[in-house]
Structure 1
Amino acid sequence: MDKKLFQQLGLLQKEFEKLYGKGKVFFAISPARINIIGEHIDYIEYFKTAVLPFASKEHYMLLAFRKRNDQKVRCASLSPGFSSAEFSLKDFKASHKHASWEDCLTLTTPCKPCWTNYIKASCFYLRFLFPKKNLKGMDLLVFSTIPIAGGASSSSALVVAIALALRGVNGLKIDNNEIAESSSKAEWFCGTRGGKMDHATMCFGLSNKVLLINFKPFGVKYVSMPNGYSWVTFYTTKADKGNELTCQYNERSAVSRIVIPTLLKKSGSLPKSIILGQFAKKFPNEYLELTKTYPVLIQTRSKNFIFPVKKYADHHLQEIARVNLATKLLQSGKAGDMAHLGKLLNQTHISLRDLYGVSTHDLEKVFKIANSVKGVLGARVMGGGFGGNLLVLVKAEQTEQLINKIKEKYYLPNKRKNWEKDIMVSTAGEGARLLPEKTDLKVKLISKVNDWKHLDEKEIFSLVKEIKTPQRKTKVIIVAAGKGTRAKKSGLLGPKVLAPLCGKPALIHVLEKFPCKKLNDRSIFYSEVVVVVSPQNQKEIKKALGKRNVKYVLQKKALGTGDAVFQAMKKVKNFEGDVVVIWGKQALVKKETIQKTILLHRALGAVMSFPTTNKKNPYAPLIRAKDGWVKDSRETNLEQSRKQKIGEDNVGFFVANAKELWVVLQKIRQEIFNPKIKVYQAPKGEFGFPNLITRKLASKGEPIFAFCMAQSFEAKGINEKKDLKIMEKYL
């Protein structure tokens, strides 16, 4: 589960329901396209070409939508300055029964640039494909983290997202290749005559993979993304797709698609340039194709207009060679090869500037600044050019230094506001897709559990029931290795986890909450129970538990609850499921609370979850962000955190994804364990749980949930002798 994504989905769903009313909401996502190399060659057809892009995990277009019973499409955006609009699928009309898409565009191409044209593009193209089908419209709301007109293809991301949504509401088959092909053609509605690279990248993206996309014939292969490097884009100025800029782009497309192939085929050579009137006279049929495919361009260019030819072709051939070499360098991933890849980026930039003429003053300025930073391997203008983004390849450890340098030398001198939003650090992620049907239920559930002061258990478990989360294997870790310093001082003899409560050791009360037998299909059962013991108490605990089906892990030195869990996790680190952690002294945690927590944890797909209670003088007060997401917890004893009169406290029971927990435990141990003196560089030399875990996961943006549904007495554990009488009242 992606916490940032679900925060955005929560906002999107809330605003969608404000606009269009309560009801079922569906979602689509389409990523930004980051093209490593292979610029302005995806639309040429006179030579075999390939490109090396990837889909951004961190930056994407989100779409909330709902089917309508008519053919209306109502659209709105959360981005400021984008007005709402409404149109009908009936607005698109083919020129005649067997009209081509190009013929249709002469009748329906929009006059003024507008963001909703990209929505119309996808909708009208689907109507073109299915002229006899009674296609239904939809209500939709857009949210984007892709800079607009920045070269990361926010427009294509919108076209692809709409294509997915409209096929979804009409029950049409969704095929990656068909979506990519249709979306690339659909976008011609907006005036540009681009290729298929952006849409194919969005449709075929895979986590940690660069795409090697070939166009003749079309095919996608994957290359692993090397570790240790960052891909950072810096937005300069808007590449506004107004009429003139569209014509500038289409001029290069027209020369590449029609003029160069014609000259090669009929003349056998390429001149430096050709006058439009001469081309029309020599090649009337091909000129007719130009006027049909690029009507606005031909209308705005006089017969004396000179088309550059040779330098565009030189860029194509040089860029094709760079892509081939870059593929081999990426496959190697060695430091020297990545440095070579950086040089290729610089060469592409120079080619796009000198041969293709798509760079700008601002792009050149940022290019120069970036290449002056230590650790930067190369940079280039990304996308169509004429503004937009500069892509930089930098060693991961120098990423922050690079960002600071661009900020100081470019953004601040230009008085750029909110410059942080103009920077994208991207890793390779999944491609465009419809999110699971019950995503809106999960979004609602998150909203309900994060509203912890008004938690309605009946409402949240009704949502859990609707989500129908499948069973997951679960193992139990009972931590029973504490030193018990306070307990001994209070006169409690023996291990506190064996202190008698109603005639039975506390540890057995805890153990009985975790049945290892499956009672029915809906019951929660546990495949294994691990008890963490110390050298001092292991004999007594083993004797007390007798022949019970448990495994023991020895914590040789008392280095905190986090270390105890770490030792136990060594035994279950490859476990595909969830792991429950509970302190052996917490006999009052109710079985019902445990089961509810596990059900919620599964329904939410969380990394870690735990029940809490709102009580006086919390021992480890939980800290939440304004929107209710957990961001930290502090312990008043071990960490000497400031005490609170009232607050949210955990009850000593936690559930976590086993693999994710093992990863974060290892990371924290690597960071704070001193192997020479064998203690943690933390308060009292101990690794505390869950505080350090919560802090680390929250800082990484991982989803942690706390459910304020436990009763205050459940937080009571055995710390002193006097606690026994208090606890027996509740048992």
Structure 2
Amino acid sequence: MKAKIASIFNQHFEGNPLIVRSPGRINIIGEHVDYNGGYVLPAAIDKYIYVAISKRNDDRIGLYSVNFESSVEIALNDIKPSNDYSTYILGVVDQLLQRGFSISGFNMVIDGDIPVGAGLSSSAALESAVAFALNELFQLGISRLDLVLIAQKAESTFAGVHCGVMDMFASIYGVKDSVIKLDCDSLLFEYMPLKLDGYSLVLFNTNVKHSLASSAYNVRREQCETGLNLIKQIFPDVKTFKDVTENQLTTYVLPYDKEIFNRCFYVVKEIQRLNEACQFLQKGDLQALGKHLYATHEGLSKEYDVSCFELDYLINAVKSNPNVLGARMMGGGFGGCTLNIIKNEEIDSLSNDLSLAYEKETRLILDTIKVNTSNGTELVT
């Protein structure tokens, strides 16, 4: 990939570019907890966005996307959001300028192998790669944590996606054979070992995205905020859902609104499951971890109500298979991927059988994506 992107760079621009790669991410457990101030357990994966970059002698930005076969050129003092890939790049530039960093024009080529729309955070990987690359190119001296915050702010303010920090954090801080236990409220974190020993992480992509995903996401945020505020009014020491008990929800939120109770109950239970999952990882107990993945999917489907027929179908299809330790939907919901822990020698046959059954049931193609954990954003040497 280094040779490929360097060659493409020289077809469009001049100079010897710096090359940076930034990984996509999965989340083992802790879905929809990041914006609720709880814990998440993401890992960087071996699917990447690559950027090649060099300085220009003027104040213009030249971009070329290999995947979209698209060029953009814009003045540094005239950047604004658009409806294409450049928004994620220019959003990072905007953040650097707002923070007072001095940069000049640059040329950049973007390539990658993160499947778009699969819920693996290709946009966060792109923003992380751009922030890291500009920091290196212009020797800005920005810490990794501030790179995370710059990338996240670029997406939330410039691209208009009100995301948490998990995706960028995983992309920049990832470590191979590890997952990150991240407190999304304090941003304190620690690494947990991920030893798969004969098993692999496999994603089955439904290749569907239902239209209510974005609106439902905002509704879930509002419902959780409402439930948490009900508890805070009675217990002023409660700051986030990490401080909330099931009994408090049953006593004070359930009588108010059952649906809001269900959303909040899922979050509290998911925080419990994540803490227990970390204990399983430290012990190397994949069987117990897998059971928690199934329990998480049940909560996402029935309590948080962000699953869909296609996702539930894939989970039900593997649930009784002894070669699958656990599975759940991953990401925002209403489509995207399921995350599965599958015995290595059974992946191909299971994938083939499931693809045939899924296509017959839904008339959709099922994509299989095997992933390994990876290091975070780095220079390609």
Q: 1:119 aligns with which of 83, 89, 93?
A: 89
Q: For residue 67 of structure 1, what is the aligned residue in structure 2? A: 55
Q: For residue 54 of structure 1, what is the aligned residue in structure 2? A: 43
Mapped contact 2:2–2:380 kept (Cα < 8 A): no
Q: Distance in 2 between matches of 1:125 and 1:273?
A: 41
What per-residue deviation string (whole Å, max 9, x for no partner) do you get for residues 133-155 of structure 1? 44223222221211112111111
Q: For residue 229 of structure 2, what is the aligned residue in structure 1? A: 262
Q: Distance in 2 between matches of 1:352 and 1:399?
A: 25
Q: Distance in 1 between matches of 2:171 and 2:361?
A: 35
Mapped contact 1:235–1:389 kept (Cα < 8 A): yes
Mapped contact 1:369–1:405 kept (Cα < 8 A): no
Q: For residue 194 of structure 1, what is the aligned residue in structure 2? A: 163
SS of the aligned residue for 2:63 comes to: strand
Q: 1:18 aligns with which of 4, 11, 16?
A: 11
Within 5 Å, which residues of 2 pair with 1:166-205? 166-188=134-156, 189-205=158-174
What per-residue deviation string (whole Å, max 9, x for no partner) do you get for residues 428-458 of structure 1? 211112224xxxxxxxxxxxxxxxxxxxxxx
Q: 1:346 aligns with which of 291, 294, 297?
A: 294
Q: Distance in 2 between matches of 1:405 and 1:140?
A: 42
Identity %: 31
Q: 2:335 aligns with which of 366, 379, 387?
A: 387
CA deviation after TM superposition for structure 1 residue 411, in Å: 4.8
Q: For residue 728 of structure 1, what is the aligned residue in structure 2? A: none
- The change in CA–CA distance for 1:360 and 1:72 in structure 2 (over 3 A counts) is farther
Q: For residue 190 of structure 2, what is the aligned residue in structure 1? A: 221
Q: 2:200 aligns with which of 209, 230, 235?
A: 230
The unaligned stretches of length 5 or more in structure 2 are 236-251
Q: 1:85 aligns with which of 61, 72, 96?
A: 72
CA deviation after TM superposition for structure 1 residue 379, in Å: 0.7
Q: Which AA in structure 2 matches 1:14? A: S
CA deviation after TM superposition for structure 1 residue 322, in Å: 0.4
- The change in CA–CA distance for 1:89 and 1:347 in structure 2 (over 3 A counts) is farther
- The change in CA–CA distance for 1:86 and 1:363 in structure 2 (over 3 A counts) is farther
Within 5 Å, which residues of 2 pair with 1:398-547? 398-411=346-359, 422-436=367-381
- The change in CA–CA distance for 1:399 and 1:325 in structure 2 (over 3 A counts) is same
Q: Distance in 2 between matches of 1:272 and 1:127?
A: 49
Q: Which AA in structure 1 matches 2:73? A: E
CA deviation after TM superposition for structure 1 residue 308, in Å: 4.9
In terms of Rg, which structure is larger? 1
- The change in CA–CA distance for 1:329 and 1:118 in structure 2 (over 3 A counts) is same
Mapped contact 1:32–1:59 kept (Cα < 8 A): yes
How well do the aligned residues superpose, as a CA RMSD in angstroms? 2.5
Mapped contact 1:272–1:311 kept (Cα < 8 A): no
- The change in CA–CA distance for 1:272 and 1:401 in structure 2 (over 3 A counts) is farther
- The change in CA–CA distance for 1:412 and 1:63 in structure 2 (over 3 A counts) is farther
Q: Distance in 1 between matches of 2:326 and 2:94?
A: 41
Q: Which AA in structure 2 matches 1:63? A: V
Q: Which AA in structure 2 matches 1:319? A: E
- The change in CA–CA distance for 1:262 and 1:409 in structure 2 (over 3 A counts) is same
Q: Distance in 2 between matches of 1:148 and 1:327?
A: 29
SS of the aligned residue for 1:234 comes to: strand
Q: How many residues align?
A: 363
- The change in CA–CA distance for 1:271 and 1:425 in structure 2 (over 3 A counts) is same
Q: Distance in 1 between matches of 2:256 and 2:132?
A: 42
What per-residue deviation string (whole Å, max 9, x for no partner) do you get for residues 304-335 of structure 1? xxx952222111101000001111111111xx
Normalising by structure 1, we get a TM-score of 0.47
Q: For residue 330 of structure 1, what is the aligned residue in structure 2? A: 281
Normalising by structure 2, we get a TM-score of 0.87
CA deviation after TM superposition for structure 1 residue 372, in Å: 4.4
- The change in CA–CA distance for 1:169 and 1:401 in structure 2 (over 3 A counts) is same
Corresponding position: 1:207 with 2:207:
no
Q: For residue 502 of structure 1, what is the aligned residue in structure 2? A: none
Mapped contact 1:59–1:424 kept (Cα < 8 A): no
- The change in CA–CA distance for 1:239 and 1:177 in structure 2 (over 3 A counts) is farther
Mapped contact 2:280–2:289 kept (Cα < 8 A): yes
Q: 2:314 aligns with which of 356, 366, 372?
A: 366
Mapped contact 2:41–2:182 kept (Cα < 8 A): yes
Within 5 Å, which residues of 2 pair with 1:543-692? none
What per-residue deviation string (whole Å, max 9, x for no partner) do you get for residues 117-137 of structure 1? 22222221222212xx44223
- The change in CA–CA distance for 1:254 and 1:137 in structure 2 (over 3 A counts) is farther
SS of the aligned residue for 2:335 comes to: coil
The unaligned stretches of length 5 or more in structure 1 are 1-7, 93-107, 275-306, 437-731
Q: Distance in 1 between matches of 2:372 and 2:73?
A: 36
Mapped contact 2:205–2:337 kept (Cα < 8 A): yes
Q: For residue 261 of structure 2, what is the aligned residue in structure 1? A: 310
What per-residue deviation string (whole Å, max 9, x for no partner) do you get for residues 242-274 of structure 1? 8x6433323323444x43443332366435777
SS of the aligned residue for 2:175 comes to: coil
Q: Which AA in structure 2 matches 1:259? A: T
CA deviation after TM superposition for structure 1 residue 220, in Å: 2.3
Q: Distance in 1 between matches of 2:270 and 2:33?
A: 8
Mapped contact 1:42–1:197 kept (Cα < 8 A): yes
Corresponding position: 1:30 with 2:18:
no
